[in-house]
Homo-oligomer: A and B are copies of this chain.
Amino acid sequence: MSLRFALLGLLAVEPGSGYALTQRFAQSLEKYAWHANHSQIYPELNKLAGDGLIEVVAEGARGSRTYAISDAGRDALLDWMLSPPRESRVRSEQILRVFMLSTLEPPLAHDLLRGYLAQAARHRDEIREIVAQLESEEDASSPMQFGRFAAEFGVRQYDAFVEWAQWALARIERYQAEAGQGSERGNRPSTTQ
């Protein structure tokens, strides 16, 4: 069901073709909230059109169809937004990997986590640049830019991860220091790759 409302939501912001929607998913939505392939998007658009929730408003080159949300679609989207959200389930392979670090030997977990931290920091900085650009364009008339909210969310999300990772690294180091006191195990804090 969520795919349906993700599409309605994107079309509520701005009309677009299946191709364009596929790109909008890949652009920001998939990183924080939802992902869909084009092979899922096209059939769903046809279903939505069949249900009268969206309409073809233009046809372009190469058989492209631009869809826009209909009034019925806006109503359906609103209903969904006002309906109680179901159990908050999050699915992220990346975070799963992070949690599974605790199954590894501390030095290895430490090394991998440093890598994750570095990557998150890079992502954060990339988005910060985008934010800076958006902020400079400063189109005050624009109606509550979706992208601006998403980008800010991303920056804060990655930043929280970076800080958590630093905390976790320190904790692993502390643990290793304590564990290594008596018996000398192979475990030095980081075998610098």
- Give, as a whole number of angstroms, the nearest-CB distance from A113 to chain B: 10
Copies of this chain present in the complex amount to 2
The reply to whether B92 and A146 contact each other, CB–CB distance below 8 Å, is no
- Give, as a whole number of angstroms, the nearest-CB distance from A27 to chain B: 12
Number of A residues near B (Cβ < 8 Å) is: 67
**Alpha-carbon distance A95/B85, docked complex (angstroms):** 10
20 sampled A-B residue pairs with Cβ under 8 A: A2-B96, A5-B96, A5-B100, A9-B99, A9-B100, A32-B90, A32-B99, A33-B92, A34-B93, A35-B90, A78-B104, A81-B101, A86-B93, A90-B95, A91-B92, A95-B153, A99-B149, A149-B171, A157-B157, A157-B160
Q: Which residues of A contact B (CB under 8 A)?
A: 2, 5-6, 9, 12-13, 15, 29-35, 57, 68, 77-78, 81-82, 85-104, 106, 109, 112, 140, 143-146, 149-150, 152-153, 156-157, 159-161, 163-164, 167-168, 171-172, 175, 178, 189, 193
